[in-house]
Amino acid sequence: MQYAEILVDVANRRLDQIFHYRVPQLLTLKVGMRVIVPLGHRQVQGIVLRRADVLPEEAKEHVLKDVLAVVDDALAIPEDLLNLALWMAERTLCPIAQSLHTVWPLMKGKVEEWVVPLASKEDEDVQTLKFLDPEVYKGFTVLFRAKQKALPLSVFLKRSGFSQGKMDELLNQGWLRIESRFTSGIPAGARKQPPGETQLLEAKLITEGWKLTPEQAEACQGIEKALDGKAYQTILLHGVTGSGKTEVYREVITKVIAQGGTAILLVPEISLTSQVAYYFQKQFGHQVIVMHSGLKSGEKVKAWQEILKGQVKLVIGARSAVFAPLTNLRLIILDEEHEGAYKQDENPKYHARDVARKRMEQHQGVVVLGSATPSLEAYAAAQTGQIGFTKMEHRVADRPLPPVEIVDMREELMKGNRSMFSVALQSKIRSRLETQEQSMIFLNRRGYSTFVNCRECGYVVRCPDCDVALTYHSNGQVMRCHYCNHEEVPPHVCPECGSRYIRFFGQGTQRVEEELQGLFPKSRILRLDWDTTRAPENYNRILSTFRKQEADILVGTQMLAKGLDFPNVTLVGVIAADQLLNMPDFRAKERAFQLLTQVAGRTGRSNKPGEVVFQTYSPKDRAIVLASQHDYLHFFWEEIKYRKDRRYPPFTHVIRVILLHEKEDRVIKAAHSLTEFLRLGILNNEGGYNDLVILGPAPAVLARLKNKFRWQVLVKGKRLEPLRAFLHQGVQKYAQDSSSQGVQLNIEVDPLSMG
């Protein structure tokens, strides 16, 4: 008898284990194949992990069932990607099923009970039912109306209104039959559609740079040497804004492809893929494919199939493209490596950097991390020699980095200027309008005002489902929750004390736009933020309008900071540089420095020199001062010392578990139970986890979100692997306990922010 080890496709921690099944003679199973297996009282998808001739001891106590079928026409997961999925589940502490779906999106599908009629519409018996039992006849009509002349049981019950009793009656009388059917989640004919035309519009025009600068040439040599080494390596490419990192990428990718290899180029945002793709398609044509989560499922499947056919040599995309099933993969590049978007904020909460490293370890290839402002983790790793390092300190054509003026807004206030714009910034904008050059104004907060508040009693309007203040939006004149999108009309009188002194406080991009328009009535202003780019085509439309110089000023949130290149922009203004610093988070300074440096880097990118203004209430702050001097090195050493003194990452690792439920008592009980299991783990001390600290349980920073209460438990430790293994054990035990029933678990390894 043949046996198979199966991973079942059910996203639940209790089922995160190997299940054993017997393999009937008729079926030939291979590792990575999709199969249908019985599980409890239903049938589910599964993946063949291994075949075995002998059953392990622990499996013998079960009565084994048979594998029912192989999912036909489905491709088996390549073994390297199967291993990658297992590794990722372990690494991010998420259920294996979720990890599998992320690595192998072709796995969509489920087994369902379907109701099938046992007579046709024209049957006399059915026709007589019309009079004898109109209710049953109605059931038939519901089925006959359906496209496939049959319906999933749950849908049928809803549409017909039949109860379980009525259902049994019909089944017994032989009118209907129930059968299990497998529905593939992949649309039958994956639609044929080349990458959208709009994607090509917003392309960067390349007029220069075909000859490498000496720094670029040196960076290329370093990477190429690593590629020739045929062993895994990561290299950090630290190049100031405008130093031409893309050129380096192009050069090394060309080399990889020439040698018969393939590569992946990751960019932080979907919106940036089209710019970059255009640049590379000019050289590599159809060997390039764009991939990201914004593709419709049909397009995604098509892209996947194209890659599997072996025609594709280069995949360009956002985070999820790191899983592209290329063969002969030699190189993965992460552009703007420091960007938070590389970490997925739903399960599996992976960081593309880690996945890239794992894949290149599997294939003895090279990872390149490119940035002007590397993450502290990456730069520290380069300093200690764990990863390679190469740098580019000069912009192309020896253009200078733009001078930055720091304006103290307290002084502005003392001088009687109560507007959002300092005198200096106003006059610089005015002169740009006169010379027909362009400006970018940055404020990292969308909406009009950040909270609505009663001056009499201090009441602040909050979201009913989340623990946050609502933001007022001037378009539509509503208050909106930035976490769950709940909307409300602002009150005229205070709901608490009845006072009419309701005022709007704090500033967002809508307010910036409005006030600018007031100051410069003739100027043409565009806004780039989450609200104006809700429809995906708007992003490119706004940018191409700005590029064609049909607008003078572009106001926006951090979307402005990412990789944009407009030759005519000679002024960048940051409205409130401090606001970035005041986040309750040890990474706030790092993020502020990165964002300020990146925004400043958007100007002076052509032969016209650029200028930058940082407005702030804390002009002495080190992140602000050092960003104004474009001094990454000093910032790194100051910040790394602070992290070391306070024992923050990268010197320690943190795993955060958030527990969620609608009922507060259930969460509290579960959180305590989990903490108990973890403390027991330390007491038993089998893995030698003596440097671990458990903090909590305590209400999470956002104690309520989307109508769910949130409690958290933090575990800190010096080394990541033992910490992860410790949590895995603890969570596994907790998941078997009844207190965990129904309470959602949200686990994050090394979270980027504590909010």
Q: Does 17 bind DNA (CB under 7 A)?
A: yes
Look-up: residue for tokens 């059915």?
126
Longest dimension (CA), the chain: 93
Stretch that binds DNA, among 56-64, 364-372, 380-388, 695-703 (CB under 7 A): 56-64
Residue 264 DSSP class: E
434, burial (CB in 10 Å: exposed 0-12, middle 13-18, buried 19+)? exposed
Q: By CB under 7 A, is residue 670 in contact with DNA? A: no
Contact pick of 12, 419, 475, 707 for DNA (by CB under 7 A): 12
User: Residue 504 forms beta bridges with which residues?
Assistant: 452
* Binding residue (CB under 7 A) for DNA from 40, 285, 385, 688: 40
Task: Label the pairing between strands 366-371 and 329-335.
Answer: parallel
In this chain, which stretch among 35-43, 316-324, 535-543, 592-600 interacts with DNA, using CB under 7 A? 35-43
Strand residue runs (E) in 428-517? 438-442, 451-454, 471-473, 478-480, 487-488, 502-505
Distance CA(32)–CA(43), nearest Å, equals 19
| Interaction of residue 253 with DNA, rule CB under 7 A | no
> Is residue 311 helix, strand or coil?
coil
User: Minimum Å distance from CB 745 to DNA?
Assistant: 8
Which tokens sit at 450? 């950040």
489 makes contact with DNA (CB under 7 A): no
Among 53, 54, 72, 164, binds DNA (CB under 7 A): 164
Peptide bond into 619 cis (omega under 30): no
15 binds DNA (CB under 7 A): yes
220 is in an annotated binding site: no
Q: Does 62 bind DNA (CB under 7 A)?
A: yes
> C-beta of 92: minimal distance to DNA in Å?
16
Nearest to 350 by CA among 748, 691, 755: 748
Query: Judged by CB, which is closer to DNA: 45, or 603?
Result: 45
Paired with 78 in beta bridges are none
User: x/- contact string, 624-663, with DNA (CB under 7 A)?
Assistant: ----------------------------------------
Stretch that binds DNA, among 13-21, 509-517, 648-656, 695-703 (CB under 7 A): 13-21
566 binds DNA (CB under 7 A): no
454 is annotated as contributing to ligand binding: yes
Q: Is 63 in the site for DNA (CB under 7 A)?
A: yes
Of the pair 19, 279, the CB lying nearest DNA is at 19
In whole angstroms, the minimum distance from the beta carbon of 713 to DNA comes to 18
Candidate segments 17-25, 350-358, 520-528, 584-592, binder of DNA by CB under 7 A:
17-25
| From 19, 350, 546, 677, residue interacting with DNA (rule: CB under 7 A) | 19
Asked if residue 457 belongs to a known ligand binding site, the reply is yes
163 is an interface residue for DNA by CB under 7 A: yes
Pick the closest to residue 349 from 755, 754, 747, 753 (CA basis).
747
161: left (phi over 0), alpha (psi -120 to 50) or beta: left
Decide if 549 contacts 568 (C-beta within 8 A): yes
Q: Considering the complex, what minimum distance in angstroms separates the CB of residue 62 from DNA?
A: 4
Which two structure tokens, joined as six digits, stand for 658? 């958030």
Tokens of 311: 């025609």
x-marked contacts with DNA along 716-735 as a string, rule CB under 7 A: --------------------
Task: Tell whether residue 677 is a contact of DNA (CB under 7 A).
Answer: no
CB nearer to DNA: pick between 157 and 701: 157
List the beta bridge partners of residue 2. 23
Closer residue to DNA (CB): 164 or 485: 164
What distance in Å separates the CA atoms of residue 697 and residue 678, rounded to the nearest whole number?
11
Beta strands in 11-106 (DSSP E): 19-23, 34-39, 42-52, 69-70
Q: What is the spatial order of strands in the sheet that 487-488 belongs to?
A: 471-473, 478-480, 487-488
In the complex, the smallest distance separating the C-beta of residue 752 from DNA, rounded to whole angstroms, is 25
Instruction: Tell me if 94 is assigned to a ligand binding site.
Output: no
Nearest to 599 by CA among 625, 567, 577, 621: 577
x-or-dash string of contact with DNA, 95-134, rule CB under 7 A: ---------------x--x---------------------
- Please give the backbone phi and psi of residue 191, each rounded to the nearest 5 degrees, phi first: -60, 145
Measured from the CB atom, the residue of 60 and 225 that comes closer to DNA is 60
CA–CA distances in Å: residue 553 to residues 291, 473, 574, 638, 683? 32, 21, 13, 35, 61
Q: For residue 139, how many other CB atoms are within 10 A of its CB?
A: 23
Could you give the CA distance from residue 244 to residue 334 in angstroms, rounded to a whole number?
A: 15
d(CA 743, CA 672): 12
Q: b/e for 221-248, b at 16 or more Cβ within 10 A?
A: ebbbebbeeeebbbbbbbbbbbbbbbbb
H/E run at residue 425: helix 423-435
Count of C-beta atoms within a 10 Å radius of residue 345: 11
The answer to whether 59 contacts DNA (rule: CB under 7 A) is: yes
The correct pick among 2, 11, 517, 699 for binding DNA (CB under 7 A) is: 11
Rounded to whole angstroms, the Cα distance separating 83 from 358 reads 10
Question: Min. distance of Cβ 162 from DNA in angstroms?
Answer: 9
Q: What are phi and psi of 468, to 5 degrees?
A: -130, 160
- Interface with DNA includes 165 (CB under 7 A)? yes
If you search the block for the tokens 């064609």, which residue do you land on?
548
Which of 128, 193, 477, 741 contacts DNA by CB under 7 A?
A: 741
Span of 55-63, 219-227, 266-274, 321-329 interacting with DNA by CB under 7 A: 55-63
The pair of three-digit structure tokens given for residue 556, joined into one six-digit string:
């926006």
Q: By the 8 A CB rule, do 351 and 343 touch?
A: yes
Residue 18 vs 27, nearer CB to DNA: 18
Distance of CA 29 to the CA centre of its chain: 35
* Residue 25 contacts DNA per CB under 7 A: no
Stretch binding DNA (CB under 7 A), from 9-17, 408-416, 531-539, 714-722? 9-17
Q: Smaller CB distance to DNA: residue 464 or 742?
A: 742
CB of 671 to DNA, least distance (A): 16
Site membership for DNA, residue 707 (CB under 7 A) = no
Q: Whole-number minimum distance, CB 349 to DNA, in Å?
A: 16
Among 27, 31, 52, 64, contact with DNA (rule: CB under 7 A)? 64
| Using rule CB under 7 A, residue 10 touches DNA | yes
Give the binding-site size for DNA (rule: CB under 7 A).
29
How near is the Cβ of 266 to DNA at its closest, in Å? 30
CB of 443 to DNA, least distance (A): 40
Q: Which residues pair with 572 in a beta bridge?
A: 440, 612
Binding span for DNA by CB under 7 A among 33-41, 294-302, 394-402, 547-555? 33-41
Tell me if 319 sits within 8 A of 342, measured CB to CB.
yes
User: Does the footprint of DNA cover residue 65 (CB under 7 A)?
Assistant: yes
Among 41, 211, 522, 534, binds DNA (CB under 7 A): 41
Nearest distance from residue 38's CB to DNA, in Å? 5
H-assigned helices in 578-621: 588-600
The least CB distance from residue 77 to DNA, in Å, is 21
Binding site for DNA (CB under 7 A): 10-12, 14-15, 17-21, 37-42, 59, 62-65, 110, 113, 163-165, 738, 741-742
Name the binding residues for Zn(2+): 454, 457, 463, 466, 481, 484, 494, 497
